[in-house]
């Protein structure tokens, strides 16, 4: 089944809403330095940059981690879920991207436990505490979507769209670009997001990786950028 029920749709919208306290607004995924260098400077360059992240970079990696966490949680496979948490930690290209991922994952899970304290979530939190690890945001959300009995593909597409929307929002504030142009950029990314979600559903489950070297380099340079609005 790929159809979201009304309740599942509302819950997913709530979890991915900017009002859900994960702090996504504080991160730019290296885009702040890309704007500083002029690599991203208008609608077209923004759309191209974010498209690359979704198709080849963190979007590709996170889509596979989301799927893996969803399937492990759905199947009650604690060992696989623990492996995915570790893998998500190991495959972050930079220190700031690791912070961006785990800080949002921790905030998401903590808020979920306070508002939706499912026994499986409480057990997972205990396992994470024992292992002294925090889940990546995509892993935490993927596991939660499985527990909420959401269909995987639309939940994954919604996650990738929210990820892209946050990157666009960061650049709208940085250039400044303007809200209308930001929406134009996000609209142009629809096919990319749909294709990325579809590809993640077909890919070998162990094909966990991505390649966006210029994005990683921008993130590294951001660590010592003189003036910064964002944490990544």
Q: Please state, in angstroms and as integers, the Cα–Cα distance from residue 151 to each residue in 64, 71, 102, 208, 227, following that order.
A: 15, 11, 24, 21, 42
pLDDT in tens, 94-142: 999 999 999 999 999 999 999 999 999 999 999 999 999 999 999 999 9
Q: What is the full DSSP assignment across 54-71?
A: HHHSHHHHHHHHHHHHHH
Nearest to 200 by CA among 148, 136, 147, 142: 142
28 lies in a domain? no
211 lies in a domain? yes
Nearest to 94 by CA among 224, 227, 229: 224
pLDDT in tens, 145-180: 999 999 999 999 999 999 999 999 999 999 988 999
31 lies in a domain? no
The burial class, CB within 10 Å (0-12 / 13-18 / 19+), for 125 is middle
Domain that residue 92 falls in: 40-218
Q: What is the pLDDT of residue 206?
A: 85
35 lies in a domain? no
7 lies in a domain? no
1 lies in a domain? no
Residue 86 has pLDDT above 80, yes or no: yes
Omega within 30 of 0 (cis) for the link into 176: yes
Q: What is the pLDDT of residue 200?
A: 97
State how many domains the chain has.
Answer: 1
34 lies in a domain? no
Model-level pTM?
0.96
151 lies in a domain? yes
Under a CB-based contact definition with an 8 Å cutoff, are residues 108 and 22 in contact?
yes
Query: CATH number of the domain that 109 lies in?
Result: 1.10.4190.10
């Amino acid at each position: 089944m790929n159809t979201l029920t009304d309740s599942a749709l509302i819950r997913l919208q709530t979890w991915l809403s900017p009002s859900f306290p994960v702090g996504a607004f504080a991160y730019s995924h290296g885009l702040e330095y890309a704007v500083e260098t002029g690599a991203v400077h208008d609608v077209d360059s923004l759309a191209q940059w974010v498209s690359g992240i979704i198709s080849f970079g963190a979007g590709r990696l996170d889509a596979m981690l989301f799927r893996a966490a969803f399937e492990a949680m759905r199947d009650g496979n604690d060992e696989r879920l623990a492996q995915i948490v570790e893998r998500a930690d190991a495959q972050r290209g930079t220190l700031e991207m690791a912070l961006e991922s785990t800080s949002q994952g921790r905030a998401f899970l903590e808020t979920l436990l306070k508002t939706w304290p499912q026994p499986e979530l409480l057990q997972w939190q205990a396992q994470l505490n024992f292992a002294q690890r925090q889940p990546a945001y995509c892993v935490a959300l993927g596991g939660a979507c499985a527990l909420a009995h959401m269909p995987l593909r639309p939940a994954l597409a919604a996650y990738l769209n929210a990820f892209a929307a946050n990157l666009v929002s960061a650049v709208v504030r940085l250039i400044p670009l303007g809200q209308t142009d930001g929406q134009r950029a996000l609209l142009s990314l629809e096919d990319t997001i749909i294709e990325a979600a579809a590809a993640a559903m077909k890919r070998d489950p162990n094909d966990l990786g991505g390649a966006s070297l210029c994005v990683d380099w921008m993130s590294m340079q951001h660590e010592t950028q003189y003036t910064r609005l964002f944490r990544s």
